[in-house]
Amino acid sequence: MSGLIAKEVTVDCRLPGGRSVRVLDAIDLHVQPGSIFGLVGPSGRGKTTLGRVLAGLAKPTSGSVTCDGVPIAPKLSRIGRGRIGMVFQSPRRSCDPRLTLGRTIALTAKRDIRLDDVLAAVALTPDLLGRYPVQVSDGQLQRAAMARVLATKPSYLILDEPTAMLDPATTATLMDAVRQFVGAGGGALLISHDHELVNAISDQILSL
């Protein structure tokens, strides 16, 4: 079946002392191609954990994730790996400080990607490409992080609080890029504390 689909995803985490805590309990969700799925909920409810499981970055204790029928969890397939792109809250933590923005984007870009289109989608001007992360603002770096993910041509985007550190103008630019991605047939999961933003942009919302 098409879509990024979680079935009965359960995650238990170990605490110091060996005790285990259930972070996610049999969660189902379906991110359809061409749509935005909003994920909201109070701090500590497991939104990031679920995003990481959906991206294949963390294993669930039980349950499964498939991406257009390809397994992501419990076992991540090689084909599944490239289908999902994740944008994190902090671009400073997700971008290598030793690489210019241009190199950051080019390093994992698909060969046939039109870089100009990707840069235009996030309103990143070419003069910024020669700069290192320390030489740009958080908003500029987050747009580069988004460009890096778009340049891998994912089928699905998972955005974990991508606008938490950004001003309204940069937030609008990033959300426009998400709408454009979805308009071209991609599916997006937007994790955010910002209910107003999630309500405005999402086709479907799950509250954890």
Ligand X SMILES: Nc1ncnc2c1ncn2[C@@H]1O[C@H](COP(=O)(O)OP(=O)(O)OP(=O)(O)O)[C@@H](O)[C@H]1O
Contact between 189 and 158 under an 8 Å Cβ cutoff? The reply is yes
The residue (of 23 and 121) whose beta carbon lies closer to ligand X is: 23
Residue of 18, 43, 114, 196 interacting with ligand X (CB under 6 A): 43
Pick the stretch among 40-48, 61-69, 115-123, 195-203 that binds ligand X (CB under 6 A). Answer: 40-48
Q: Where are the alpha helices (DSSP H) in the chain?
A: 47-54, 78-81, 91-94, 101-107, 115-121, 138-150, 168-183, 195-201
Q: Residue holding tokens 């991508």? A: 162
Q: Which of 73, 65, 78 is nearest to 5 (CA)?
A: 65
Contact between 36 and 201 under an 8 Å Cβ cutoff? The reply is yes
Q: How far is the CB of 158 from ligand X (least distance, A)?
A: 12
What distance in Å separates the CA atoms of residue 167 and residue 33, rounded to the nearest whole number?
Answer: 28
- What is the maximum span of the chain, computed from C-alpha positions, in angstroms? 52
Residue type, 12: D
| Helix orientation angle between 168-183 and 138-150, rounded to the nearest 10 degrees | 10
The residue (of 33 and 41) whose beta carbon lies closer to ligand X is: 41
Residue type, 87: V
* Number of residues this chain uses to bind ligand X (CB under 6 A): 11
Contact between 83 and 20 under an 8 Å Cβ cutoff? The reply is no
Q: How far is the CB of 45 from ligand X (least distance, A)?
A: 4
- Tell me the per-residue interface mask from 83 to 122 with ligand X, x by CB under 6 A, - otherwise: ----------------------------------------
Residue type, 46: G
Residue of 4, 5, 23, 73 interacting with ligand X (CB under 6 A): 23
192 binds ligand X (CB under 6 A): no
Pick the stretch among 47-55, 115-123, 124-132, 138-146 that binds ligand X (CB under 6 A). Answer: 47-55
45 binds ligand X (CB under 6 A): yes
Beta bridge pairs of residue 9: 27
Residue of 3, 38, 46, 186 interacting with ligand X (CB under 6 A): 46
Pick the stretch among 44-52, 63-71, 130-138, 164-172 that binds ligand X (CB under 6 A). Answer: 44-52
- In the complex, the residues that contact ligand X under the rule CB under 6 A are 13, 15, 23, 41, 43-49
